[in-house]
Amino acid sequence: MPFDRYRVPEPVESGRLAEDELSSLRRQLAAEYDLQELCYRFGESDFCFLSVRDSYALLDRISPEEFLKDEQMPYWAEIWPAAVTLSRQLMERGELAGKSVIELGAGVGMASIAAAKSGARVLCTDYSTEALKFAAYNALRNRVALDTCRLDWRMVKGDEKFDAVIAADVLYERVNLLPIVTAIDALLAEGGSAYIADPRRRLADQFIELVAENGFRISETRMYDAEGDQTVAVTIYRLERSAS
């Protein structure tokens, strides 16, 4: 059963229609959120991403009933250092070009957009439909085509497989570890690889143990990325499934 995708088309370079759509989306988001735009350079390409200026302000929107239902916090609204590091790595290495890629917990879509820019066919997913609005805007803003889809990594259904699974800073709660491993196992094609970027949280060690128990080979790249006047340590775990 295929994912219920929404296609974000690649804008024509000088297309007035694309610019009008981008402006319309920006106005819609500005009416709901206090916005900020941050710009980065990955490889030889420049990117700009719209996000929420103060994600803590969104806490007031979550009713006690909604929180008790699934305990979802608005983590999607921020751009996390691990996403920056993963995006830079994807652009500089270019190893996902021509491959099918799914991102788990994409937030505002940074890593998905970097992967698409590098030549991958990308499905950008998040549990939050609010996040997917930003991902769609940012894809248009950075002139890349990708698909978006709401996905709960605790309940991955269907038999579609991908050459690569990517995720940044998703290992923040113990309760998520096994569902993420299970989702990777369900989504990754034989011979594929998953790339999980994490700011060296303690929970990452437990995640790696679970991954190893599920038959994946694990390698890691330790990196340091500048965030303002601070240096942030990020590890990118590559999980490989051997072809049977």
Res 62: pLDDT: 62
Rounded Cα distance, 111 and 176, in Å: 20
The closest alpha carbon to 125, from 115, 135, 114, belongs to 135
- Alpha helices by DSSP H, listed for the chain, are 16-32, 64-70, 81-93, 110-117, 129-141, 174-187, 203-213
Let me know if residue 192 belongs to a domain. Answer: yes
Is pTM beyond 0.75? Reply is yes
Query: So what's the pLDDT on residue 157?
Result: 86
Question: Quick check: is 70 in a domain?
Answer: no
How many domains, the chain? 1
Domain carrying residue 96: 7-63+77-240
Give the pLDDT confidence score for residue 46 in this predicted structure: 97
CA distance 97 to 65: 43
Reading the block at residue 165, the tokens are 């699974």
Q: Is 213 left (phi over 0), alpha (psi -120 to 50) or beta?
A: alpha
Confidence at residue 2, expressed as pLDDT on a 0 to 100 scale: 63
**What is each CA distance from 186 to 163, 164, 182, 219, 242, in whole angstroms?**
12, 12, 6, 20, 15
The span from the CA of 137 to the CA of 27, in Å, is 11
In-domain check, residue 201:
yes
Query: Residue 20: what pLDDT?
Result: 84
β pairing state of 188-198 and 230-240: antiparallel
- pLDDT-flagged residues of the chain (< 50): 14, 68
235 in any annotated domain: yes
Instruction: Assign residue 50 the CATH number of its domain.
Output: 3.40.50.150
Does the residue 175 lie in any domain?
yes
Confirm whether 213 is domain-assigned. yes
Q: Is residue 83 part of a domain?
A: yes
Distance of alpha carbon 164 from alpha carbon 78, whole angstroms? 24
pLDDT tens per residue, range 133-157: 999 999 999 999 999 999 999 999 8
pLDDT at 35: 96
**What is the pLDDT at residue 196?**
98
Report if residue 2 sits inside a domain: no
Confidence at residue 68, expressed as pLDDT on a 0 to 100 scale: 46
